Chains A and B, each alone.
Chain A
Amino acid sequence: MADDKLTLLEERRQSFIDAISFNEPKKVPIGAEILMWPFSSHGGTYLDVMGNPDATVSAYTAFMDEVPLDYIAMGVGVSHSVTMHKILGSKAYTISSDGTTLQHMQSQLDFISVEDYQKVIDDLYGFMSEEWIQKNYPALNVPDKAQAYASLKEAAIEYKKFVETNDRIRENVFGDRQKLNFYGPETVRYSSNLNTLFDNLRGIPNTLLDIRRRPEIVDAACQAIFASKAPLPDPKDYIGKPPLPLGSTVYHSECFLSPPLFDKYFFNDFRKLYMPYMEAGVKFFVKGEGHFLNTIDRYRSIPKGSCVFMLDEDDAFEVHKAIGDWQVIGAGITADLLRFGDVQKCKDYVSKCFDTFAPGGGFIFLQNKPLLCGGDASLDVLREVYQFADELSRK
């Protein structure tokens, strides 16, 4: 039994490596990015099982009995411990009215003010490890230390349970079910310094305004963020290794930037800092957000096959025309089609993707957006569409 499973995982791994290396694989890898949707796949909700590890693992993984998947993009499990945040007095994460979707409420974060920029520039560590936490977690900002500690301890107990439950989900998916996890401990990660401001410290609208109104201070803050990052591993350690696990980068602010600003805040650093890894054979999974066709030509200046794109809003066929001979396309079905639920239309799109992208390799099957909310797809539609894609993947 153990040997059979190893063989299946090895086959999945080899097909994935072939596909992202522009060799036609034995089977085009069929994958999905999944967030909270699985809890709704059989008519339930996350709230039904939250706090019960056995029920959580079972509800999350059940759809995989019916939907064929070779790999999982980005990881599995519940992304945030809503209860932990709640215990500490934060409303930044909440469960939506569908009982399943986990929302990140940026508006509930107490972002830095213009004046706070200087604190970030002078002492990012000190600011983030003390003032930021006290600002955003009221339970850790009370006069009585014993009371604050009691909240932290209660939150830690909850967080531990959350981590252990996610570990069990990973064990089920990547262990028992032998799905390929394309990330690992050696994964090299890149997130632009601007994204730290955009997503975490200053928020979306303020960051975009600051780029125009106070670019010098934005640049100084970006430098401070860069200086705080852990040193990268030695690229030589990656020479001669298989291209798994993939490297990782995720777009956040990038689709809001003009091409020159995209270069300044994202691509120039990506190329400069990570080119040695690409030259050593590392391939990066680029999770797109929004449109990025207008900057996709930049990826011709880095080695062939060094990136695997998960598209978002852009038309996969346009992207393929622009860069498909040089970088790998993750595409095959769209969230809109899955949600609309016309199985024949889904199958037509899937067929067109396989006919266009699969010959010659450089293609993995993946949706354009994750399965996020309860209503994102019905299990019946997903099963039919993925079974159809699975059949095509072997031809």
Chain B
Amino acid sequence: MEKTNYTIAELFEELINDESWEPDAEKRLATAKAMFLTLNRNIVPLKR
């Protein structure tokens, strides 16, 4: 696998702070957390 110059954690941080897709901060965080868990097969939660 190629090494990228960014991390998944950085992408999720940007998603949580990006009001353009969901203005409600709580909903953004909840969606990001649920999605992160889904992507890693419900094994590790988003640390935040």
Q: Which among A139-147, A345-353, A361-369 touches the partner chain? A: A139-147
CB neighbours (8 Å) of B9 from chain A are 129-130
User: How far is B34's CA from A186's CA once the two chains are assembled, in angstroms?
Assistant: 18
Contact A129 to B6, CB < 8 A, known contacts A84-B35, A152-B15, A156-B35: no
User: How far is B15's CA from A155's CA once the two chains are assembled, in angstroms?
Assistant: 11
Binary interface profile of A, 107-133, with partner B (CB < 8 Å = 1, else 0)? 000000000000000001100111111
User: How far is B2's CA from A255's CA once the two chains are assembled, in angstroms?
Assistant: 38
Partner of A160, one of B27, B38, B45: B27
**Interface SS of A by simple majority:** helix
The chain B residue with its CB closest to the CB of A110 is B1
**Interface SS of B by simple majority:** loop
On whether the beta carbons of A142 and B35 are closer than 8 Å, the reply is no
The chain B residue with its CB closest to the CB of A225 is B43
Partner of B8, one of A133, A143, A228, A230: A133
The chain A residue with its CB closest to the CB of B20 is A153
Interface size counted on chain A using CB atoms at 8 A: 38
Give A182-202 interface residues, CB cut-off 8 Å to B.
196, 199-201
Is the CB of A105 closer than 8 A to any CB of chain B?
no
Partner of B35, one of A131, A145, A155, A201: A155
Binary interface profile of A, 88-101, with partner B (CB < 8 Å = 1, else 0)? 10000000000000
On whether the beta carbons of B6 and A148 are closer than 8 Å, the reply is yes
On whether the beta carbons of B14 and A149 are closer than 8 Å, the reply is yes
Binary interface profile of A, 21-58, with partner B (CB < 8 Å = 1, else 0)? 00000000000000000000000000000000000000
On whether the beta carbons of A196 and B43 are closer than 8 Å, the reply is yes
Contact A128 to B43, CB < 8 A, known contacts A141-B1, A153-B21: yes
On whether the beta carbons of B11 and A160 are closer than 8 Å, the reply is no
On whether the beta carbons of A132 and B6 are closer than 8 Å, the reply is no
On whether the beta carbons of A130 and B8 are closer than 8 Å, the reply is yes
Binary interface profile of B, 8-27, with partner A (CB < 8 Å = 1, else 0)? 11111011001011100001
**B interface residues, Cβ below 8 angstroms from A:** 1-2, 4-12, 14-15, 18, 20-22, 27, 31-32, 34-36, 38-47
**A interface residues, Cβ below 8 angstroms from B:** 80-81, 84, 88, 124-125, 128-137, 140-143, 145, 148-149, 152-153, 155-157, 159-160, 163, 196, 199-201, 225, 228, 230
- What are 26 A-B contacts defined by CB distance under 8 Å? A80-B38, A124-B43, A130-B7, A132-B40, A132-B41, A133-B8, A135-B1, A143-B4, A145-B4, A145-B5, A145-B11, A148-B4, A149-B11, A149-B15, A153-B18, A153-B20, A153-B21, A156-B32, A157-B22, A159-B31, A160-B21, A196-B43, A199-B41, A200-B41, A228-B43, A230-B45
